[in-house]
Amino acid sequence: GNSVTQMEGPVTLSEEAFLTINCTYTATGYPSLFWYVQYPGEGLQLLLKATKADDKGSNKGFEATYRKETTSFHLEKGSVQVSDSAVYFCAPNRGSTLGRLYFGRGTQLTVWP
C-alpha cells in the first residue's frame, strides 16, 4: 500500500532562514506527489506538485524534486517569511484512483521575525 513518512514538527525558524521538510513515501505504481499547506482555520491548499521522476515542482519560493530512486519529495525554501507559518503536508496519490491522497502527519512551521 501507500504511506508517507514526514519530518516531525514543530519546526521553528527565524525569518530568512533556510527550510527543509523531509518526506519519503512508499507507493505502488507511479504516484504523483503533492505538497499542501494549511493555514489556521482553513482547508488545505495545493503548494506544488510533481508527476514524474526528476520533476521539480515550485511555487512561492518553495521547491521539491521527485526522487524516484530514494522515494523522496523533500520541501525546501531558501528564505522563509513570517507568512509561511502554517502546517505542511506531503501526499502521494494512489496511482490508479482519483481523489485518495495519502497524507503525512503534517509539519507545523513557525517563523519568527
Examine residue 99 and tell whether it contacts other proteins (CB under 8 A): yes
The dihedrals phi and psi of 45, each to the nearest 5 degrees, come to -120, 140
CA distance 70 to 106: 20
The nearer residue to other proteins, 10 or 99, going by C-beta atoms, is 99
Among 44, 64, 80, 86, binds other proteins (CB under 8 A): 44
Q: Which of 19, 21, 23, 32 binds other proteins (CB under 8 A)?
A: 32
Shortest approach of other proteins to residue 14 CB, angstroms?
27
- Give least dist CB 56 to other proteins, A: 15
Mark 76-98 as b/e (b = at least 16 C-beta within 10 Å).
Answer: ebeebeeebbbbbbbbbbbeeee
Q: Is 12 or 96 the residue whose CB approaches other proteins more closely? A: 96
